Amino acid sequence: MTATSSPSGPETDRFARMRLVEGWDPALLAAGTAVVAGVGALGNEVAKNLALAGVGRMILCDPDTVSITNLSRTVLFSTGDVGRPKPDAAAGALRVLAPDTVVDTRPTDLVSGVGLGELADAAVVLGCLDSIRARVQLLGRATLVNAALIDGGTGPWAGEVRVRMSPDEPCFACSLTQHERGVTDVPWSCAEPRQGGPVAASILSTALVAAWMSAAAVRVMLGYPPDYRLLRIDALTGRTEPVRLTRDPDCPTHVPLAESPAPIAVDHRDTVGALLAALPAGAQPTVWARFPVPLPCLVCGNDTHLSDDFPPDGWCVACGAVLRSRYTEQLRDAPPHMRLCDLGVAPEEILTVRTAEGGHLWFRLK
């Protein structure tokens, strides 16, 4: 007689082998959300690992597009993806590898792509970024909402993994000088390295760092985070060791929001006018990234474009001069018909609001 397996047996269970790992709980992983900031080489490996491990939902955020130079270090990209947004290309491959994992794509910068409310609700946030500025920015936003953060960095034959479970703990910014914390570098193509920018890294060191990051992330999601807070990985010497950290008392990235935000029945797709109507009278809501507000023509004074679709055309229809804009963080300066998302407001963002009496409140978009 030929033995047959039950429909619920190991032959039909994708995670049968992982269930044998002590402490492994597929239900916890399936119920959790992981935010992956940066979907380049490191982000590809991390997203692939977490999806195969059974993480239920991932938010992939990256403003860049796939280039030919990415293909030697990215398991989720193929030649046909060149020119596509990185999150979209990665999501397509992940849906084939792990169809049960829900993948949300945010092909924009971190502040516009992932709201503070989403960071707060995530089981873990993973930084797979290639600049000091981006890493510090993610660290600061995770700090505001007490999000568990795992940050990775790679080098030619080495790398590091940083785990931060609480704003009270030492962080990546603690290891930087005051000047380095304020550096204005931005991500650029790895094909055009610059002084102080991303160093060369192969798929070999990338895969090593991503494996450690993924292991740390899964442990956080399962409820027993690793004891280390900084792990140095060196493939040349064959050594991987934890490093003791010291908190810098002058480091500014240790202060969470002063109070829990109040929910508001407005989301990022609603208009500025809808938000203002839902806030207390005279309230001044502020966003995290500046946006342009058009000015009357500085040459002839024509202001007819101010009532046109926002933003206006680049040239004055009256005299042909270049139209200028000023930049602001105050939503009352924007046209009421503008949608919040078109001004760079992320889903489930938490906004600071100055009241008419001069106090401050926090509101979380739905």
Q: How far apart are CA 316 and CA 309, in angstroms?
A: 14
**Do residues 134 and 167 share a domain?**
yes
Strands (E) across 100-204 are located at: 102-106, 124-127, 149-154, 158-164
- Which residue type does 317 have? V
Report DSSP state, residue 131.
S
**Do residues 208 and 283 share a domain?**
no
CATH of residue 67:
3.40.50.720
**Do residues 165 and 267 share a domain?**
no
The tens digit of pLDDT for each residue in 304-325 reads 777 665 555 678 888 888 888 8
The residue among 214, 242, 270 that closes a domain is 242
Nearest to 187 by CA among 139, 151, 133, 150: 133
**Do residues 171 and 282 share a domain?**
no
Bridge partners (DSSP) of residue 240 are 233
Q: How far apart are CA 190 and CA 28, in angstroms?
A: 36
Q: Mean of the per-residue pLDDT values for the chain?
A: 89
Averaged pLDDT for residues 8-16: 75
Nearest to 74 by CA among 261, 238, 201: 201
The residue among 211, 242, 273 that closes a domain is 242
Bridge partners (DSSP) of residue 230 are 162
**Do residues 226 and 91 share a domain?**
yes
**Do residues 324 and 206 share a domain?**
no
Q: How far apart are CA 354 and CA 332, in angstroms?
A: 12
The tens digit of pLDDT for each residue in 54-83 reads 999 999 999 999 999 999 999 999 999 999
**Do residues 27 and 157 share a domain?**
yes
In a domain, 249, yes or no: no
The tens digit of pLDDT for each residue in 249-302 reads 989 999 999 889 999 999 999 999 999 999 999 999 999 999 988 888 888 988
The residue among 208, 242, 276 that closes a domain is 242
**Do residues 321 and 350 share a domain?**
yes
The tens digit of pLDDT for each residue in 173-201 reads 998 887 777 765 544 444 444 444 556 78
Residue 354: count other Cβ atoms within 10 Å of its Cβ. 15
pLDDT at 130: 87
Residue 175: count other Cβ atoms within 10 Å of its Cβ. 17
What are residue 348's phi and psi, to 5 degrees? 55, 35
Both tokens assigned to 218? 């899964």
In a domain, 134, yes or no: yes
| More confident: 2 or 132 | 132
**Do residues 164 and 287 share a domain?**
no
Bridge partners (DSSP) of residue 294 are 325
**Do residues 92 and 190 share a domain?**
yes
pLDDT at 259: 86
In a domain, 214, yes or no: yes
**Do residues 120 and 212 share a domain?**
yes
In a domain, 141, yes or no: yes
In a domain, 252, yes or no: no
In a domain, 106, yes or no: yes
Residue 36: pLDDT over 50:
yes
Q: For residue 93, what is the enclosing H or E element?
A: helix 86-97
Nearest to 77 by CA among 88, 101, 201: 88
Strands (E) across the chain are located at: 33-37, 57-61, 102-106, 124-127, 149-154, 158-164, 230-234, 239-242, 262-264, 284-294, 325-330, 350-354, 360-365
- Per the CB < 8 A criterion, the answer to whether 155 and 207 are in contact is no
Both tokens assigned to 303? 């202001």
**Do residues 317 and 271 share a domain?**
yes
Averaged pLDDT for residues 21-31: 94
Query: Please, which residues have CB within 8 angstroms of residue 149's CB and are 6 or more apart in sequence?
Result: 124, 125, 126, 127, 138, 139, 142, 162, 163, 164
The tens digit of pLDDT for each residue in 75-85 reads 999 999 999 99
Q: Is 26 left (phi over 0), alpha (psi -120 to 50) or beta?
A: alpha
State which residues form the domain around 125: 10-242
The Cα diameter of the chain in Å comes to: 93
In a domain, 257, yes or no: no
Structural domain count of the chain? 2
Both tokens assigned to 154? 């790679």
The tens digit of pLDDT for each residue in 196-218 reads 455 678 899 999 999 999 999 99
- For residue 356, name the pLDDT band (cuts at 50, 70, 90): confident
In a domain, 145, yes or no: yes
Kindly give the interhelix angle for 86-97 and 41-53, rounded to the nearest 10 degrees: 30
